[in-house]
């Protein structure tokens, strides 16, 4: 009897949304938060076996939650997240609390708790979170993306289980440290093959970052971070397992254009994995290891008309880059994004994107090319 639960989840999500939109307070110190996102998605694929296909679907993601302020220093939150689709291939996946995200996140049709945490502020400038939470370090722009950490982009549902510390090192810079638990079935966020978490040594992974969003001239974002995942990289076709270490640097700059409020933003990210798997492990011809570099560059025209913005993203991730939910390994990406900010909590977005394999796989007759588009609406409460 899985379908009644899905219906109940949808009704519950709408009920929470209605309460939030009506501005009804549940009680002192308790508030409703979350979002609803839905839209139309179309994918045209020229696959590696020379076949061609076109698929389309309507998607819906509902994430209603409750936040509670216990004291000035202690607060907490719990949120239910469900992901649904009209695609018939997902019709048998309606489950709750039963699966670890795979691919781009929780399967369409499934629901779970994507936030359940306590937040403690023991001193000025120091925040601590314990439990299940959303973490992300994105490059600013119209199409916000990340090379390494971005829970739940688009309609995906992923999360971080662990401890998150944020500390204000100065007025400009903040330090971030995340100690994350990984289940033996897999990580709760996107971690691409041949990363594998069956080894006991991979239960805990680590992330550290320094970031500033204080403007310095035209520069509006600066940041560096490092990810360390021990005993998770299946380096070759044997039982050999290595640690995976990757570093990312990001920066964005913004300039005014004209007198109507338009701004141009240029942003970029560069990532490098210190050790990567062999080409054989990724089914790529040749000897030696695959490349471990990833880059994205964005060009953003913000408020070219008030509340309307467009952005262009160019990206390339080599086969050894295994961390990004936004960029596939061994892929190039070209994307155009349009955003209409109807109001503070309402926006409409449209995307046209092409992705293509960099290296042809040894098992394939040609490279895969995907062209996809969506039009979606998001309401935050």
Model confidence pLDDT, tens digit, residues 244-289: 999 999 999 999 998 889 999 999 999 999 999 999 999 999 999 9
Question: In whole angstroms, what is the distance from residue 144 CA to residue 137 CA?
Answer: 9
Q: Are 175 and 298 in contact (CB under 8 A)?
A: no
pTM for the full predicted model: 0.91
Closest CA to 349 of 336, 360, 362: 336
- Cβ partners under 8 Å of residue 142, min gap 6: 298, 300, 301, 302, 309, 310, 311, 337, 338, 339
Model confidence pLDDT, tens digit, residues 46-104: 999 999 999 999 999 999 999 999 999 999 999 999 999 998 665 556 677 666 776 77
The sign of the torsion formed by the CA atoms of 303, 304, 308, 311 equals negative
Give the CATH number, domain containing residue 48.
Answer: 2.40.160.10
> Looking at the 3D structure of the chain, how many domains does it have?
1
| Cα dist from 99 to 135, 265, 267, 299, 367, whole Å | 20, 39, 36, 37, 31
Residue 4: pLDDT band (50, 70, 90) is very low
Residue 10: pLDDT band (50, 70, 90) is very low
Question: In whole angstroms, what is the distance from residue 216 CA to residue 210 CA?
Answer: 16
Model confidence pLDDT, tens digit, residues 201-241: 999 999 999 999 999 999 999 999 999 999 999 998 777 89
Burial class (CB in 10 A: 0-12, 13-18, 19+), 216: exposed
175 pLDDT higher than 50: yes
Residue 257: domain span = 3-380
Closest CA to 299 of 288, 309, 307, 290: 309
């Amino acid at each position: 009897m899985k379908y009644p639960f899905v219906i109940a989840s949808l009704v519950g999500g709408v009920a929470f949304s209605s309460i939030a939109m009506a501005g009804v307070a549940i009680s002192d110190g308790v508030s409703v938060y979350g979002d609803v996102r839905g839209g139309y998605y179309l994918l045209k694929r020229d696959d590696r076996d020379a076949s061609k296909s076109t698929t389309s679907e309507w998607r819906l993601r509902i994430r209603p939650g409750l936040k509670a302020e216990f004291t000035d220093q202690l607060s907490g939150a719990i949120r239910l997240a469900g992901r649904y689709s009209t695609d018939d291939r997902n019709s048998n996946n309606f489950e709750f609390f039963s699966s670890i995200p795979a691919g781009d996140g929780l399967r369409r049709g499934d629901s779970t708790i994507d936030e359940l945490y306590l937040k403690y502020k023991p001193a000025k400038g120091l925040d601590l979170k314990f439990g299940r939470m959303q973490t992300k370090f994105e490059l600013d722009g119209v199409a916000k993306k990340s090379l390494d950490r971005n829970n739940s982009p688009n309609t995906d549902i992923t999360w971080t289980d662990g401890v998150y510390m944020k500390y204000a090192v100065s007025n400009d810079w903040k330090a971030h440290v995340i100690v994350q638990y990984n289940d033996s079935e897999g990580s709760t966020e996107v971690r691409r093959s041949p990363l594998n978490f069956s080894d006991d040594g991979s239960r805990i992974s680590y992330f550290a970052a320094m970031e500033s969003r204080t403007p310095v001239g035209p520069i509006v974002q600066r940041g560096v971070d490092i990810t360390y995942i021990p005993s998770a990289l299946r380096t070759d076709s044997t039982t050999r397992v290595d640690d995976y270490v990757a570093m990312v640097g990001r920066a964005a700059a913004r300039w005014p254009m004209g007198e109507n409020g338009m701004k141009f933003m240029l942003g970029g990210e560069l990532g490098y994995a210190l050790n990567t798997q062999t080409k054989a492990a990724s089914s790529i011809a040749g000897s030696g290891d695959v490349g471990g570099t990833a880059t994205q560059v964005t060009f953003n025209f913000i408020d070219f008309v008030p509340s309307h913005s467009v952005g262009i993203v160019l990206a390339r991730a080599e086969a050894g880059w295994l961390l990004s939910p936004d960029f596939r390994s061994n892929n190039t990406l070209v994307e155009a994004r349009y955003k209409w900010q109807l109001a503070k909590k309402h926006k409409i977005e449209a995307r046209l994107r092409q992705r293509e394999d960099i290296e042809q796989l040894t098992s394939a007759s040609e490279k895969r090319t995907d062209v996809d588009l969506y039009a979606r609406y998001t309401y935050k409460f």
